[in-house]
Structures are given as structure tokens and as C-alpha cells.
Structure 1
Amino acid sequence: MSALQQLAVVVVGLAGVFGLLIGSFLNVVVYRVPAGLSVVRPASSCPQCGHEIRGFDNVPVLSWLVLRGACRDCGNRISARYPLVEAATAALFSVVAGMVLARAAGSGTTLVPTIGMLVVLLYLMAITVSLALIDVDTHRLPDKIVLPAYAVLAVLLTATSAASGDWWALVRAGIGMLVLLAVYFALAVAVPGGMGMGDVKLAGVLGLVLAYLGWGPLAVGAFGGFALGAIFAIGLLAARRAKRGSGIPFGPWMLAGAWLGILCGGPLWDAYTGLIGLT
């Protein structure tokens, strides 16, 4: 294994550890933000007995296993979703880090722009996990998470373009943001109740990142959300788990489609355009 490959393994491992920590915080976000509570204060406590969770009982995944999924003080059961979110976030962060490093190695991208894109996509993954879970739980995409993402991503993408010198990517990101905002807003107006304004606001965030990566990721990511959502809805109808008109949260499918675009949007778009003779 070369020194560069060893470094990549270390970075992917560190991203996983960082994901564990972020996953623990996201559990707090998912519980408190919909309830209108601060994610900073007070410290986490058992909802049954009110005892503050000790630092050594708040180690991601490990503490839940040691405590056998129960509060140390009252024995109240702790949902398995907490360690699952932490472990899943760690795995997803590692996948993102590996993808960014592999693409940088293949394209010859220098260190600073690579770090910039890594930060962008890790941030997007963090809000992906939190928004998907909140939307499933409450059928809401809170402004407290979605709206700040515009400013955060604008700063991060501007810094990445400054490091790489690729200012067209930043212009393209702005175009993608406006396009997806317009499309989703039009759909929300045309089909009242079919799509919420939370979906419209999230569309702009996703358009910003997808278009920064290219027109292919934007096209695949946008279409992928509708395709995955439709497949899921048809599956529920076929299994008689839902009826026509049943409210199904669309945010998770928008996010899944966006990551489909990020992961393989470029090659899929190239294959499609080649198939229909556009290239």
C-alpha cells in the first residue's frame, strides 16, 4: 500500500469517528428542533427520571451497548435508533470521504479544493440524516435547519471555488439553485397539498450542491428524487400500507435522489446523453 493510500485510509477512518460524534449530536437535533427546544441547553437527560446523562454514558454506540439500552438510574429503555443513527452517520461520513478522495485522485484535484468539497459534502450528509428523520417523524422540514444551509453552503462553495479557481462551478450552482426552486415552487402551486414549502426550500439547497458538481448530477439528482418517491409510493399502495391521497414525506426521497446524483450523476448522465445521441 502506497503512502497516499495509507493517508486515504486514515482520512476515511477519521471521517468515521467524526461521524460517530456528529451522529450523537444529530440525535439531539432530531428530537429537539421539531419541539422548538435549544440543541445546546440543557444537557441531555433521561425523559423518564430526569437524571442528566453522565459524560461516560454518552459515548456514541458504546454507551448504549454497555448500558444494554437502558438508563443507568431508572432502567427506562433507550431506543435503539440512537446508536443506529450514530453508526449510520459514521458509515456515511466514511463513504463520503472515500468518494471525495477517490475522485480527487482520479482528476488530479489539489489538496485545498479537495478538503473544501469534503467539508461541503459532510455538511450536506449531516443535514440529510437530520432532515430525513425529522420529516419521517413529523412530516416537516424545519427552517432552522434548511435556511441556514443556504448561507453555510454558499460560503463553503465560494471558498472551494477560490481554492480551485473554478468560478463557473459557483455560477452554475446559483443557476441550479434557482432552477430547482422554480420547479418545486411551480409544482407546489399547481398541486396544492401535494408538496410543502419545506420541500421547495430544500430543493434550492440541493440544487446549489448538485449544480456545483455539474449538470449531470443536477439532472440525475432532481429526477432521482421523484423516481425513488414514486417507487416507494407504488410499493406502499401495492402492499396496501397506504391509500391514494395518503401523505407521504417527500423530503427523504429528495435527499436520496440528490445523493444518487452526487455519487453517480455524472456517469449516468453521460451514458444517457450518449444513448440518445446528444454526445
Structure 2
Amino acid sequence: MVRLFDYYVFFGGAFILGGAIGSFLNVCIFRIPEKKSIIYPPSSCPACGQRISWYQNIPILSYLFLRGRCGFCHKPISLRYPAIEFLSGGLFVLTLYYFRLTPATLVYWLFVSALVVISFIDLDHQIIPDVISLPGIVVGFICSFFIPWVSWLDSLLGIVLGGGVLLTIAWLYELLTKREGMGGGDIKLLAMLGAFLGWKAILPIVFVASLIGTLVGVPLMLVQKGNSRLAIPFGPFLALSALVNLFWGPRLIHWYLGLMVH
């Protein structure tokens, strides 16, 4: 009974921490593309510019209490703000569930936070900011010294293979179609994923991301009347695929190999 209570405390604490981090991630998503400081000035209403008080900035709860409106001008506030806070909290809980109270949990909390910011910036602006991906490559490599199942050599090879795979795909695509189909940001992102997850994760990540991208992209092309030049950011698919690999990668590989055997 005590152990069950401890689980509730730990997971509840992880969700609250993740929600608070998610509030900060909202700031990063909004300000990084505009090259603004993520520290100053404090958060303010997007409509009236009024500084938000601390009690109006409690993750998720303040949005519900204020009924999704600014406490000053009463203009609607996007549902995406609490959604990102909820997503971040859920990812923190999931990370703690799989990796328990180990250094890996701290590493992957940082990792999933970066993926959330990258995904939404790419969705909004079709860019993956170097200010996240490039330091992320270095941080991922350093963190490999604290993750027993990802050695520094695995991380280093992941960086090289991650950057090399997408660079090769981008070069072949441009060679065949005479137009650019993948930005440099995706290449740097995959190198960052390789730094955190190791070289063995690269090909599964690319495969799953391509599969998800096809399942999403083809219907969108049909809606757009077959527009093959429709710009669909690939970063969110890579990020989602990386999360799938992080939490369920070994299980999926064993399942797939089992299908091959039978």
C-alpha cells in the first residue's frame, strides 16, 4: 500500500514538474524563432501585452480557472498553451515510468523537452533552430557517459550516421528531382537523436518517421488536389519516431523479428 502511494507521489510530482517545464517550453516555442530572450521579459498576454501574474501562470490550472481567457483583457488564449503543458507533464511521467529514479530519467527529461520545442517550432515556421539541435548534439554525447546502454562510441557513431543518412537522402532526392526536399535542420536533428539514442536507433527512427510522414502526407496531398510540392515539416515526425524508439524501441524490434521468424 505504501509502495502504491509512493508511485502516486513520484508520478504526480513528475507530472507537475513536466507541466511547469512545459510552461517554459511555450515561451521557448514563441520566442526562439523571433530571436528574443527566453528569460526576459516575463510572460505576458499575447493580446494586450499585460504581464501575467504568478497565480495566473500556474500550468493547466490557471487556464481552466480563467476559462481560457486573459485575466486582464479577457481575450481568448490558445488551447495550445495548456496542451503543451499537459504533453510535457505526460512525457515526464512516461520517462519516469520506464527509466525509474536513475540518471537516465534526468537525461531523457531534457531530451523530450527539446523534442517538444523543436516539433512545434518546425510546425509553425518550418525551421529547426540550430540553437537547440547543435548544442543538443554536444549535450547528447556528454550524457552518453551517464547512460549504461548508450556508450560514448555508440553516441559518436549515432552523430555521424544520423547526419550522414539524411544528408545522403537529401542529396539523392535533389539529384533525382532537381529540387530541395529536406532542410539542413532535419539533418542536424537526426544527428542530435543519434547522440542521445546511439547509432542503432537511427535507421528505425528514419523508417518510422517516413512511415508516419507518408500516412499523414498522402491524405494532405489528396486534400490539396495532388500538390506534391506541399511543404510538410519532417522534424515532428522524426521527434515522434524518436519518442517511439525511446520508450518502445526494443519491444517493437523483438515484435518485428518475431514476425519475420514466423
Q: Same fold (TM over 0.5)?
A: yes
Asked if 2 retains the 8 angstrom alpha-carbon contact of 1:135 and 1:251, the reply is yes
Aligned partner of 1:243 among 213, 219, 227: 227
Instruction: Kindly provide the CA deviation profile for residues 194-223 of structure 1, in whole angstroms up to 9, marking residues without a partner as x.
Output: 1000000000011122227xx3x4432231
Equivalent residue letter for 1:157: S
Matches within 5 A, 1:79-158: 79-101=78-100, 115-158=102-145
Contact 2:128 2:186 in 1 (8 A): yes
- Alpha-carbon distance in structure 2 between the residues aligned to 1:52 and 1:242: 46
The one of 165, 176, 179 equivalent to 2:158 is 176
Residue of structure 2 equivalent to 1:109: none
Decide which of 179, 183, 196 is 2:183's aligned counterpart.
196
CA distance in 2, matches of 1:252, 1:241: 23
Structure 1 position 146, deviation (Å): 1.2
Structure 1 ranges of 4+ moved more than 3 A: 5-9, 238-242, 271-277
TM-score of the superposed pair, with normalisation by structure 2: 0.89
**Residue 102 of structure 2: SS of its match in structure 1?**
helix
CA gap of 1:172–1:80, structure 2 versus 1, over 3 A, is same
Contact preservation (8 Å) 1:207, 1:218:
yes
The whole-number CA distance in structure 1 between the counterparts of 2:243 and 2:64 is 31
Q: How many angstroms does 1:29 deviate by?
A: 0.4
Structure 1 residue matching 2:232: 3-state secondary structure = coil
Q: Which residue of 1 aligns with 2:167?
A: 185
Question: TM-score, normalising length from structure 1?
Answer: 0.84
Q: 1:34 aligns to what SS in structure 2?
A: helix
1:118 is displaced (CA, Å) by 0.6
Q: 1:242 to 1:99 in 2, by over 3 A?
A: farther
Post-superposition offset of 1:276:
4.2
Residue 257 of structure 1: aligned partner: 241
CA distance in 2, matches of 1:61, 1:156: 31
Say if 2:104 and 2:146, in contact at 8 Å, map to a contact too: no
Letter in 2 for 1:201: K
Residue equivalent to 1:225: 209
- The answer (yes or no) to whether the contact 2:137–2:159 under 8 Å persists in 1 is no
Alpha-carbon shift at residue 177 of structure 1 (Å): 1.9
- C-alpha change, 1:275 and 1:69, in structure 2 (3 Å) is closer
Once superposed, what is the RMSD of the aligned Cα atoms?
Answer: 2.1
1:73–1:241: structure 2 CA closer, same or farther, 3 Å change rule?
Answer: farther
Where structure 1 has 5 or more consecutive residues not aligned to the other structure, the ranges are 102-113
Distance 1:76 1:271 in 2: 50
Aligned residues: 256
Map of 1:25 onto structure 2: 24
**Counterpart Cα distance in 2 of 1:211 and 1:185:** 18
Distance 1:6 1:67, change over 3 A: closer
1:7 Cα shift? 3.5
User: Where does the alignment leave 5 or more consecutive residues of structure 2 unmatched?
Assistant: 175-179
The alpha-carbon distance between structure 1 residues 50 and 272, as it changes in their structure 2 partners (threshold 3 A), is closer
* Superposition deviation, residue 116 in structure 1: 1.5
After TM superposition, the structure 1 = structure 2 runs for residues 2-13 of structure 1, keeping only pairs within 5 Å, are 3=3, 6-13=5-12
Map of 1:105 onto structure 2: none
2:155 maps to a residue whose letter is A
- Provide the secondary structure at the position in 2 that maps to 1:117: helix
Deviations 1:127-162 (A, max 9, x none): 11111111110001011111111222222221334x
User: Hey, what's the Cα distance between the residues in 2 that align with 1:271 and 1:52?
Assistant: 51
Indicate conservation of the 8 Å contact 1:173/1:207, yes or no.
Answer: yes
**Matched residues in 2 for 1:246 and 1:121: separation?**
33
Quote the Cα distance in structure 2 between the aligned partners of 1:228 and 1:191: 19
